[in-house]
Structures are given as C-alpha cells and as structure tokens.
Amino acid sequence: MSINQSIKPYTLEEKEHLFLGGCDLVDLAKKYGTPLYVIDEATLRGICREYKKAFKDYKNIHMMYASKALCTSAITRILDEEGFGFDTVSAGEIYTVYKSGVDMSHVLFNGNNKSTSEINLAIDFKVGRFSVDNFYEAELLNKIASEKGVRVDILLRVTPGIECHTHDYIQTGQIDSKFGFDLSQVDDIVTLIKDNYKNLNLKGLHAHIGSQIFELKSYYDEVDILVKEIARINGKFGLNLDEMNIGGGLGVKYTDNDAPPSVNELAKAVTDAMEKYAVEIPTIYIEPGRSIVSTAGVTLYTVGSSKQVPNGRKYVAVDGGMADNPRPSMYQAEYFAEVANKVKSKDKESVTIAGRYCESGDILIENVELPIMKAGDVLCVYNTGAYNYSMASNYNRVEKPAMVLVNNSHSDIIVYRETLDNLISHDNIPDRLRKYD
C-alpha cells in the first residue's frame, strides 16, 4: 500500500504508549511540551523514494517539492538530500531553501502577485524558473531582468479549465480562478514575450489543478491539454517549448472514508497520457507537497477540561486548536486521532475534540470514539505534516508550537517553541504613548 493511502506514518508502533520513529510520544510531550508537531524522518524519506521509484521509467522527470505544505530548514535539507527541487511562492520560502544550501537552479518561483522585492531576490539568488502568472508580472519581470542585464527562464502558468472534485478553496485549475492565463490569452502573452520581452526565455507551460485530488482522470486530462497546447504554440510561433509542469495535488488519507489513488497510479496516469503522442518526450515537472509530508507528521496535545452538554455531546478540550491547525475551521477538514497513553484501553466514548481558542468554530475533530480521557492525557492527531505549521497563527496571542524530528529512537528540535518575548519582539510603543516616571 502506498503511504499516502495510510493514515499513520510508517514507523508508528502501538505498545503501552504510541511510539513514532522509536520514540515514546508521551515522553516527547513531557520533554518538549505541547502542542508539539512531530515529523517522522523515515516516513518522509520513504515517501520521497516512493515518488522517485514510481516515475523512474520516465526519464525526463523533475520532482519539485511544494514548499508551501511545510517549509523549514531541516525539512528542506531532507528533501534536497532525496533529490527534490522546490516550488516556492514567497521570499521567505526562497530564502529558506537558499540558506539550506540548495542548488537554486532546482527552484521554481510561483505565485499570482510577486512583489518587486521578491522578484529581485529571486533573480539575485538565481532561481531556475519563474512561473509567470499574469500580464503585469511578465512586464515587471522583464523590466527588472533588463535592469540587471540578465535573461530569466520562465514557464507560463495557465488555467486548463479542469474542475477537480475537491473543496472550492483548494481548486486552482478551473477557468474562474485567480491563478494563471486563460488559454484564450496564451497567444497574446506569447506574442509579447517573443516581440517585446527580450529578457524572458519561455521554456514551457505550468498548470496546477488543485489539492487533495482523488480523481486520476484530472491529471490525464491536464497532460492532454498541456501537450496539445505546447504543440500548438510551437507550430504557430516557431518555438521549441519542451517543458511542462503539471503541479501536484495528489490526495492523502485523513480518515477511513478517504480513498486516494497511490503514487504508482498517479505515475501511470501521467505516463499513459504522454504515450498517446508521437512527439519527443518533454521535460515534466511535478510538484507534490501534501502527499510528501502530510502522513509523516502528527501533532501532540495535552487534554485539559471537558464538558458534557445535557442531553447532548461531550466536549474534550486540548491545549491547541485552530491556531496550530486551521484546516478544520477553514474548510471542514477531518482528522483521525488516538490517545497516546491509552493504547490498550477498552473503555471508549464518543467525544468532540475542542480547541482552546475563543471561537465556537474551534473544533478539531467531531464525534470521534476514543478512550475515556482525563486532564493530562496526550492526544495524537495523525496526518498533520502538511498545512498545519505552515498555516499556523498567533491567534489569541498564543505562542506557536515547537517541531521535532524523530528517527531511530532519537529526537531533535527543528523549530523552537515561541516564547512570550518572541510574541512582543516586533511590537513598538510610540514615544507619545510611553509612560515616564
């Protein structure tokens, strides 16, 4: 079974307590505090290798990790060691991969509203590709590149008109999208690049159809559209575009109700689509993010208060919630959890796991069967490696959690827990508001 089809990481063991990477999760909670993000290195590396193996027969393939899923220096180092490039969408992500020692020619800069300062930074750091999203960006990028006396390699991001069946907030390939050029606009931007924007070197097309995708036909259709569009552009404009970036978005299994396709099935869909065409095999970029890191991560919480609603449900509160995992309140994401210190318990009840933040919508999991919990128990929520830390906030002025990496019974801090001084470190009181003795 492919790891994206499993709720739990590779190395999870159920003894008296839950163990991950050979580490007792209850001990980790005591040592580092909670909430605590935990990343299993073996699972992370295993998924990377699963992707590389699945696409091994397609010679011109480049794996580009979607950094937005989880971007820290240690995670970047691991992905770099496993042979992945990086899809970045901000100066912060570019700076992180740069400072981690990544070969910047393996980095793509993506995004629908890149700032002048971000473009300058990306050019100075010599990123390998820009994914140009709109007419404004093309003009701005050409201007900055001209001023610097360089020519930059670009892909055009297009919206292929594919509406995959996922949450509206994470669809990106439909016609009515904030991302990319509509196919009807492609000739106009190609003409501008060819005739006016001499500092832009067009290499191919880029499309991304969404996230948490379960339908392989979406990828098959995307490849079909991109191959035909590249052939049309080459024929009409006398170009030799030979690169296509199909994005990422493969789904993962958050609950037993989820049935995502495997990485091998994704690879077959992409390669089968390519085999339809008697053309020279183009270079394909693929950008998995969630399906690389999600299953490798769990989040640990400490149980606090509980409340039984008369003739209603029972709430059990933990010491985190929507600030360290906004996905349930943002788009009704579902998760599976276990009590790390009560693996063998037979006495269970249906509860709703509530967060500690001042919002009624701060609910992590609804109506889940778990061992009867009391204050001090440790709750382990699975599949939190993607879009939890990366979307975390300081709502209610609460410090962001620490993150640890576990492997071979050893744990290392890879993100330090914020302190109260960290929270106010960028605050400033104007002199006119200061109180003087």
Could you tell me what percent of the chain has a pLDDT over 70? 95
Whether the CB-CB separation of 287 and 322 falls below 8 Å is answered with no
Please give the single-letter amino acid code of residue 430: P
Nearest residue to 390 (alpha-carbon basis) of 3, 65, 130: 65
Whether the CB-CB separation of 108 and 131 falls below 8 Å is answered with yes
DSSP state of 254: S
Ranges 30-34, 60-64, 278-282: which has the least confidence: 278-282
Assigned domain for 104 exists: yes
Residue 274's DSSP bridge partners are none
Write out pLDDT tens, residues 49-78: 999 999 998 888 999 999 999 999 999 999
> What number of other Cβ atoms are within 10 A of residue 58's Cβ?
15
Q: What is the CATH number of the domain that holds 272?
A: 3.20.20.10
Strands across the sheet containing 13-14 = 13-14, 18-20, 23-24
Write out pLDDT tens, residues 285-344: 999 999 999 999 999 999 999 999 999 999 999 999 999 999 999 989 999 999 999 999
Alpha carbon of residue 344 to chain centroid: 34
DSSP state of 224: H
Average confidence (pLDDT) over 7-21: 97
Catalytic residues: 358
pLDDT of residue 273: 83
Task: Take residue 2 and report the two structure tokens written for it.
Answer: 């492919």
Write out pLDDT tens, residues 350-372: 999 999 999 999 999 999 999 99
Assigned domain for 409 exists: no
Nearest residue to 70 (alpha-carbon basis) of 322, 294, 247: 294
Assigned domain for 205 exists: yes
pLDDT of residue 250: 93
- 236 lies in which domain range? 41-293
Task: Take residue 299 and report the two structure tokens written for it.
Answer: 């989040």
- Would you say residue 23 has pLDDT above 60? yes
Assigned domain for 64 exists: yes
From CA 382, how far away is CA 351, in angstroms rounded?
Answer: 17
Average confidence (pLDDT) over 217-246: 92
Exposed / middle / buried, residue 139 (Cβ in 10 Å: 0-12, 13-18, 19+): middle
Nearest residue to 225 (alpha-carbon basis) of 285, 164, 183: 183
Assigned domain for 5 exists: no
Assigned domain for 376 exists: no
Write out pLDDT tens, residues 162-179: 764 443 433 444 456 788
Whether the CB-CB separation of 377 and 319 falls below 8 Å is answered with no
pLDDT of residue 345: 94
Nearest residue to 216 (alpha-carbon basis) of 272, 161, 256, 170: 272
Assigned domain for 4 exists: no
Nearest residue to 398 (alpha-carbon basis) of 411, 382, 416, 417: 417
> What domain count does the chain have?
1
Assigned domain for 435 exists: no
Average confidence (pLDDT) over 399-424: 98
